Structure 1
Amino acid sequence: MAAPLDTAPPTALPPVLARVAERVARHPHAEAVRAEGRVLTYRELWDETEAVAGRLVALGASGGRVGLHLERSADLVVAILAVLRAGAVAVPLDVSYPADRLVYMRDNTGVGLVIGHRGPVGRFAGLSVVDELGDVVFARVADAAEPTGAEGLDLAYVVYTSGSTGLPKGVLHEHHNLENPVAWQIEVSRCGEGDRALQFAPASFDVVLQEVFTALGEGGALVCCDEDERLEPQLLWDLVERERVNRLFLPFVVLQSLALFAEDASPRAHPLREVLTTAEQMQISERIRALSTRLPDCRLVNQWGTTETHVSTWHELPEDVASWPVLPSIGRAVRGSAVRVCDDAGLEYQGRRDTQVKLRGFRIEPGEIETLPNSMPEVSAAVVVLAGGATEDRHLRAHVVPSGADFDPAAALAALRGRLPEHVAPRKVELAESLPRTPSGKVDRRTISTR
């Protein structure tokens, strides 16, 4: 990226950025970001952030909503910081999402400007490039809608989760929603200045902000994985070893997969001190128990929270690995949060009572997916369920009642996977003569086979 412009971003920094600025002043030459052979010091990171923020301000983005449409890279980290530094609201637009979903999210949020890599932006309809810095371009949205739902709020970012209406739902997060978990995480973490943290979460998952601002706020370095490493456990474990990563934030199913390739794990080769899992219920398998035994200096932490609240609770498992229960507690509330957990009979958390499910770290509303097969003329009725036994085998499955003899399950599956992001696309389509119903006429999901 080029040198900073004369157009300066706002001087008042939100707390998470003020903490990074302090690190820049104290240790400007320390490593801040490592990505694909590229290393940025804190001073270089801050200068690149200033350059991007200056362009955003010059383009009138301050106070508005800016879409982030970048591949995994140091540029993504720079852009996240720059949007907040420019006084704008970050709206992640994941490059892996289908175009129609991106357009809906963009228009629903009122994004007026998109910052992204040249290739992905070129595939995104309705954008006009108005500026560029190296591989990063700034594109204006034609006829951008006015932002809604933000009156009186000090917004930092908007993330989308599955909606029960069949469309993704935007969740608004203010700066204090971001500052509280970051400040708390830095306070309780075993890692700190000079340590390395993996940047694993996709831009569309709010954990990315916890990864970025916790690492940079404590004076550590972010190690960015590429998409192949994120999807392939062996490559990811190799990266953790090669880059000597000290902290991981991972969906629990990813940790389960990593444990398959960690038979040689040792404190000398893998200086992990902290593994934090979230999104799905933690299950202590023998693989997890064996991995933790081989890494006695690494603590395992169970974090829980909804998209609306980010992190709500945490539970650090004790040092005695043999004492770990198969299903650990979700723990106690993080500082600055209050949690009330109860059921009709008075109290043990067991799961959600609505139809939402968790898969590979994402909260998914099956109703959103079901609207697609149910809109196909060759489909009479369809329901989507979470199937599979072991955590690593879990997947979404569509049970379909065809309207005629010409229904092709393979063609229907291909059509669904072409229109849905990977994490919400069904893996299988099963034919059914009818769907089971409850006495009230609703689909009885509990009786549908999930094996």
Structure 2
Amino acid sequence: RLISILEDARPSIALVDNVGLAILKEAKMNQPSQKEHGDGALIVMIDINEQRLLPRTNPEVDGLTSRHLAYVIYTSGSTGKPKGVMVEHGGVVNLIMSRPDVYGFSASDRMVQFYSIAFDGCALIIFTTLCLGGSLHLLTDDIRSNPTQLWDYLQKRSITQAALPPAILQDCKNLQSLSTPLTLIVAGEALPLSLLCDLQALVPNGRIVNDYGPTEATVSSIAWKCPQNYDGDVVPIGRPIANKRIYILDNHGQPVPLGAKGELYIGGVGVARGYLNRPELTARAFLQDPFVDDQDARMYKAGDLARYLPDGTIVFLGRNDHQVKIRGFRIELGEIDAHLVDHTMVDKAVVVAMGEGSDKRLVAYVVAKPDDQLVQSLRTHLSSRLPDYMVPAAIVRLDALPLTSNGKLDRKALPAPDSSAFVHEEYEEPRGEIETRIAYFWAELLHLDRVSRNDNFFALGGHSLLAVRLMNRIAVLGVQPSLSSLFASPRLSSLAEYVSQQLLTGGVSLSMIKPIPRDGDLPLSFSQQRMWFLSQLEGVSQTYHMPLAVRFRGEINREAWQRALDTVFTRHEALRSVFVAVDGQPQVQILPAHSGIPIRWEDLRG
């Protein structure tokens, strides 16, 4: 990876120690004795023990502006090739100057540097601390890798500011509460609600700040200062920092309503120049900002999903590039992840889609302590917040999520769910031929080794489409139960009893429902026939009209208004239905979906 970065950046100067020199030689760059030629670099050896020889004054650079490049930092790319993000000076300065307002940073503060200097968060830690006059504490690898030693260091050195990732704080329940007024900045990944609760107890005299921001928008864009004794059911990422603009937009690039899900876009000061040597990728991610008058203003497409809370704070919902389609529903896996980590028993979670076609199903993997009621509790938790098609069929508990050598989730290493991943009742062997046959059908459709006569079809991951397939299999027993019978009797024993009763009474014969073409005349329903009769009897009447007057404040976007009405008109046949008389008999005709709704605009100002 380092070689790839060097080849892409082609630096003019390389500062190296002995280890770095070996890497450069491997990258086939010039030797220390050589000067800059062509694609090579002037290599400068640094001896950390000779700091006294280094200059103590900053160089004077004529003509330097906020639009000049400050640094290029590399992030992982979806293709496996790192992307070099070009960050300008103006973004870094804005980051520094926003810190006192967000974190209350002052010259008396003591900050620890936990992150590697290859991580963009160091721009926040190093530059802010030194520019505002604070003291910066550099940690050894031993302290950085041991939460207990790290916590002891924070206490003994009276550290007042620390930026740490949730991963290092996961096992914090055994740590002692700090007596110092620590401002704990949590950044780098989503902060689970359960972890926030633990952290509040660990810093009773301090405060917790949840920080969000992609590298492409200069480290930090949104921050949330957690109130004392916070007991909410979600962890917000907060509001935009100074001079940032945050948009949550739909698939058409339009702002979503309060509470609706959309994709995050970041504008304002700090939006990076783009990706080095990647013009096509830059064009896709860095877009013109249509919400300001400045034609040169740009916004970054973050690829994250979010929504607004009623008070205007923002909640992170996961990544937008983890979409799957199951049973015709498009699902954002990150949204399910976010609801799982909101549960107090869950530290981390990831949801994946397994299988193909009609057998595709959602499987959730959670990092949580062993608990006999975990799967049931999480299914109940998700069912109260999500539609049934978004509730995973299986929930697998892990001690830790498998990671690749780069620290990313290793999806290939996730284990297949076993019987413990489902909500099983105490096992009781199926009784009789009917129960045994139906249990076989369940196991086949749900990919289970065995089924208890007390199990619930839907708790085992069943859904409406699988229910239809189950009814088709039960039909070979000589009975055709209705789909509603499964919803009324979802347990194996009760369903088998229902089937047995149907067999004794000769079964139920149901005719297939055949769809009627929509391009011709259609018969009226009973309620429509009644309304037609009354309209013929009474003549023109306002009885069934529902007039509505609404006052809007602000400027109306006529195109958006027309598009919204046309979308609803297209979706619902009832809105496109007209009633005509054919040979003296009432019929329904459905207008074409693309015909739209005409809107008449009247200007009453003059």
Q: Calculate the TM-score normalised by the size of structure 1.
A: 0.52
Which runs of 5 or more structure 2 residues have no equivalent in the other structure?
Answer: 33-42, 51-65, 262-305, 307-316, 324-333, 338-362, 370-397, 417-606
For 2:113, the equivalent position in structure 1 comes to: 199
1:395 counterpart SS class: coil
For 2:242, the equivalent position in structure 1 comes to: 335
For 1:266, the equivalent position in structure 2 comes to: 178
8 A Cα contact 1:318 1:324, kept in partner? no
For 2:432, the equivalent position in structure 1 comes to: none
8 A Cα contact 1:115 1:136, kept in partner? no
1:235 counterpart SS class: helix
Which runs of 5 or more structure 1 residues have no equivalent in the other structure?
Answer: 1-100, 138-151, 359-384, 398-416, 433-451
Amino acid at match of 1:389: V
Pairing 1:210–2:194 present: no
Find the partner of 1:278 among 166, 170, 187. Answer: 187
8 A Cα contact 2:212 2:223, kept in partner? yes
Which digits, 9 at most, give the CA deviation of each residue in 1:68-124, with x for residues without a partner? xxxxxxxxxxxxxxxxxxxxxxxxxxxxxxxxx101001111223221332343244
Amino acid at match of 1:157: Y
For 1:174, the equivalent position in structure 2 comes to: 88
CA distance in 2, matches of 1:387, 1:113: 46
Pairing 1:183–2:97 present: yes
Pairing 1:307–2:215 present: yes
Query: Structure 1 residues 116 and 228 mapped into 2: Cα distance closer, same or farther (>3 Å)?
Result: farther
1:185 counterpart SS class: helix
Pairing 1:395–2:303 present: no
Deviation at 1:337, TM superposition (A): 0.3
Structure of greater relative contact order (alpha carbons < 8 Å, 6+ residues apart): 1
Query: Structure 1 residues 293 and 312 mapped into 2: Cα distance closer, same or farther (>3 Å)?
Result: same
8 A Cα contact 1:275 1:298, kept in partner? yes
8 A Cα contact 1:387 1:394, kept in partner? no
Which digits, 9 at most, give the CA deviation of each residue in 1:140-185, with x for residues without a partner? xxxxxxxxxxxx9511111111212221111110011111111101
Pairing 1:105–2:72 present: no
1:266 counterpart SS class: coil
CA distance in 2, matches of 1:427, 1:224: 34
Pairing 1:298–2:206 present: yes
For 1:134, the equivalent position in structure 2 comes to: 47
Which digits, 9 at most, give the CA deviation of each residue in 1:118-145, with x for residues without a partner? 23432442342354343489xxxxxxxx
8 A Cα contact 1:156 1:173, kept in partner? yes
Within 5 A, what are the aligned runs for 1:47-126? 101-124=1-24, 125=26, 126=28
For 2:197, the equivalent position in structure 1 comes to: 289
8 A Cα contact 2:102 2:223, kept in partner? no
1:186 counterpart SS class: helix
CA distance in 1, matches of 2:199, 2:121: 24
Pairing 1:235–2:149 present: yes
For 2:319, the equivalent position in structure 1 comes to: 352
Query: Structure 1 residues 343 and 243 mapped into 2: Cα distance closer, same or farther (>3 Å)?
Result: same
2:170 counterpart SS class: helix
Q: More deviation in 329-338 or 157-166? A: 157-166
CA distance in 1, matches of 2:166, 2:74: 21
Query: Structure 1 residues 330 and 155 mapped into 2: Cα distance closer, same or farther (>3 Å)?
Result: same
Amino acid at match of 1:201: Y
Q: Based on CA coordinates, which of the two structures has the bigger radius of gyration?
A: 2
CA distance in 2, matches of 1:136, 1:167: 35
Which digits, 9 at most, give the CA deviation of each residue in 1:329-373, with x for residues without a partner? 111111110001244564241222104989xxxxxxxxxxxxxxx
CA distance in 2, matches of 1:284, 1:185: 24
2:367 counterpart SS class: coil
1:222 counterpart SS class: strand
CA distance in 1, matches of 2:242, 2:142: 36
8 A Cα contact 1:171 1:308, kept in partner? yes
Query: Structure 1 residues 430 and 339 mapped into 2: Cα distance closer, same or farther (>3 Å)?
Result: closer
Query: Structure 1 residues 424 and 117 mapped into 2: Cα distance closer, same or farther (>3 Å)?
Result: farther
1:173 counterpart SS class: strand
8 A Cα contact 1:312 1:333, kept in partner? yes
* RMSD between superposed Cα atoms in Å: 3.4
CA distance in 2, matches of 1:388, 1:431: 12
2:216 counterpart SS class: coil
**How many residues are aligned here?**
264
Deviation at 1:294, TM superposition (A): 4.9
Query: Structure 1 residues 133 and 266 mapped into 2: Cα distance closer, same or farther (>3 Å)?
Result: closer
For 2:413, the equivalent position in structure 1 comes to: 429
8 A Cα contact 1:315 1:329, kept in partner? yes
Which digits, 9 at most, give the CA deviation of each residue in 1:217-265, with x for residues without a partner? 22111111122322221222222223221111111222333x2342x22
Within 5 A, what are the aligned runs for 1:432-443? none
CA distance in 2, matches of 1:157, 1:390: 40
Q: Calculate the TM-score normalised by the size of structure 2.
A: 0.39
CA distance in 2, matches of 1:246, 1:351: 30
2:80 counterpart SS class: coil
Query: Structure 1 residues 153 and 107 mapped into 2: Cα distance closer, same or farther (>3 Å)?
Result: farther
1:240 counterpart SS class: helix
8 A Cα contact 1:190 1:273, kept in partner? no
8 A Cα contact 2:211 2:220, kept in partner? yes
CA distance in 2, matches of 1:159, 1:194: 30
CA distance in 2, matches of 1:395, 1:108: 32
Which digits, 9 at most, give the CA deviation of each residue in 1:184-205, with x for residues without a partner? 0134323321321010111121
8 A Cα contact 1:282 1:327, kept in partner? no
8 A Cα contact 2:402 2:413, kept in partner? no
Query: Structure 1 residues 117 and 426 mapped into 2: Cα distance closer, same or farther (>3 Å)?
Result: farther
CA distance in 2, matches of 1:387, 1:135: 45
8 A Cα contact 1:195 1:220, kept in partner? yes
Deviation at 1:289, TM superposition (A): 2.5
